[in-house]
């Protein structure tokens, strides 16, 4: 059960509501975010919801019988818009495109990509400065110095930044330079990281775990929300299956279902979803018809020379074609 408190609900009123919930056998978890205050009640015996709904300080009350609560569409029927400021939003009817290299490699690369994004009307640049690598001997990213450099160029061009955070200790140092913290597939159930991201007022994009269920992704989002941060974006990036003809299995079903079960916006990542450059644009378009609110895509001035993920990174020409097709597709009005 979700109780949304009135904006200025006094501690005394709040206490009265909590007591009423507890006396119905519920376990009560208070949730205070950058926007609102909630009380989450779990378990408990059946009772007349109006007995609590009529209490002072209760703005809204809902039963939610999913495993997750605050991220459920049972409670909030409109899709959430995550606002990054300066007119950059992720949400319904936006078809947000985020693009950029796998790894931030240096100033020349940053400028080349950033200029291309501006030219194409793209407002969010992706890139990695902390890279999760299977082998400890592989390149692990340019770190904070590269992030600051990248930030400077994005700021100058009005671009927003999405970048992966791997460790609780990186949050504070990255926060001034990042608009969206990305949580990678390997940290999809790193609950301490999720909790910590709930305490910072930055958007968080959660990638689905390699073998994470739809339910687990939504529960990960519930971690962030219940720790205090409502600015959450879900990301489908392919799952691990038996097929070896490609890198991951892009799960379009998940996009459709996530959109239906949750009010959070869903971004598709076809670059990781198939892992082969040639097929990325067609899967990007397909994702939008499956229901995605946007796309995140790897692009590079010289894709084959990318430090990482070269196989799945597209060039600028393919990016331009994709942007043009997205416009024509939008105009067709079939979603």
Query: What element of type H or E holds 236?
Result: strand 232-236
286 to 305, contacts with a copy of itself by CB under 8 A? 286-291
Give whichever of 155 and 305 is closer to a copy of itself, judged by the CB atom.
305
Give yes or no for residue 40 binding a copy of itself (CB under 8 A). yes
| 3-state SS class at 35 | coil
37 and 3 in contact (C-beta within 8 Å)?
A: no
Q: Is 77 in the site for a copy of itself (CB under 8 A)?
A: no
**266 near a copy of itself (CB under 8 A):** no
DSSP-derived 3-state class of residue 219:
helix
Interaction residues for a copy of itself, span 116-135 (CB under 8 A): 132-135
Question: Judged by CB under 8 A, does residue 15 bind a copy of itself?
Answer: no
Q: How far apart, in Å, are the Cα atoms of 239 and each of 76, 211, 221, 243, 257? A: 28, 6, 18, 10, 15
Binding window for a copy of itself (CB under 8 A); candidates: 11-19, 81-89, 143-151, 326-334: 326-334
* Exposed/middle/buried for residue 27 (C-beta within 10 Å: 0-12, 13-18, 19+): exposed
Number of residues that bind a copy of itself (CB under 8 A): 78
Q: Which helix (H) or strand (E) holds 27?
A: strand 27-32
Task: Please state the closest distance from residue 167 (CB atom) to a copy of itself, in A.
Answer: 4
Tell me whether strands 266-268 and 89-90 are parallel, antiparallel or unpaired.
Answer: unpaired
Quick check: 95 binds a copy of itself (CB under 8 A)? no
φ, ψ for residue 37 (rounded to 5)?
-120, 135
Say which residues have a Cβ less than 8 Å from residue 134's Cβ, sequence separation at least 6.
none
Q: For a copy of itself, what does the binding mask look like between residues 230 and 249, x meaning CB under 8 A?
A: --------xxxxxxxxx--x
Q: Which of 4, 190, 229, 313 binds a copy of itself (CB under 8 A)?
A: 190
Stretch binding a copy of itself (CB under 8 A), from 104-112, 149-157, 228-236, 284-292? 284-292
Q: How far apart are CA 164 and CA 311, in angstroms?
A: 20
Q: Is residue 274 a contact point for a copy of itself (CB under 8 A)? A: yes
Confirm or reject binding of residue 285 to a copy of itself (CB under 8 A).
yes
Contacting residue, 10, 23, 192, 302, with a copy of itself by CB under 8 A: 192
What contacts 12, CB < 8 A, 6 or more positions away? none
- Segment interacting with a copy of itself, rule: CB under 8 A, options 85-93, 108-116, 118-126, 254-262: 254-262
Q: Does residue number 54 form part of the binding site for a copy of itself (CB under 8 A)?
A: no
């Amino acid at each position: 059960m979700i109780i949304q408190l009135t904006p200025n609900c006094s501690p005394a009123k709040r206490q009265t509501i909590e007591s009423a919930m507890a006396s119905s056998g519920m376990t009560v978890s208070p949730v205070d975010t950058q926007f609102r205050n909630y009380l989450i009640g779990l378990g408990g015996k059946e009772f007349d919801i109006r007995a609590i709904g009529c209490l002072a300080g209760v703005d809204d009350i809902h039963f939610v019988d999913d495993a997750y609560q605050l991220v459920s569409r049972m409670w909030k029927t409109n899709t959430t818009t995550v606002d990054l400021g300066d007119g950059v939003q992720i949400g319904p009817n936006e078809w947000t495109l985020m693009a950029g290299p796998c790894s931030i490699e240096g100033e020349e690369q940053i400028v080349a990509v950033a200029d291309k994004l501006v030219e194409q009307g793209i407002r969010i640049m992706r890139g990695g400065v902390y890279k999760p690598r299977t082998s400890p001997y592989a390149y692990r990213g340019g770190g904070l110095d590269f992030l600051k450099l990248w930030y400077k160029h994005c700021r100058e061009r009005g671009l927003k930044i999405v970048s992966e955070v791997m460790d609780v200790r990186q949050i504070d140092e990255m926060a001034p330079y990042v608009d969206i913290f990305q949580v990678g597939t390997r940290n999809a159930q790193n609950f301490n990281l999720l909790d910590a991201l709930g305490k910072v007022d930055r958007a968080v994009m959660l990638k689905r775990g390699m073998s994470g269920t739809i339910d687990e992704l939504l529960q990960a989002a519930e971690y962030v929300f219940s720790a205090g941060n409502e600015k959450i974006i879900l990301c489908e990036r392919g799952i691990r299956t038996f097929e070896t003809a490609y890198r991951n299995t892009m799960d379009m079903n998940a996009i459709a279902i996530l959109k239906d079960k949750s009010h959070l916006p869903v971004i598709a990542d076809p670059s990781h979803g198939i892992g082969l450059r040639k097929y990325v644009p067609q899967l990007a378009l397909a994702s939008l018809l499956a229901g995605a609110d946007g796309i995140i895509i790897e692009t590079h001035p010289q894709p084959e020379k990318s430090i990482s993920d070269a196989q799945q990174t597209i060039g600028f020409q393919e990016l331009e074609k994709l942007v043009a097709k997205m416009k024509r597709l939008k105009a067709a009005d079939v979603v």
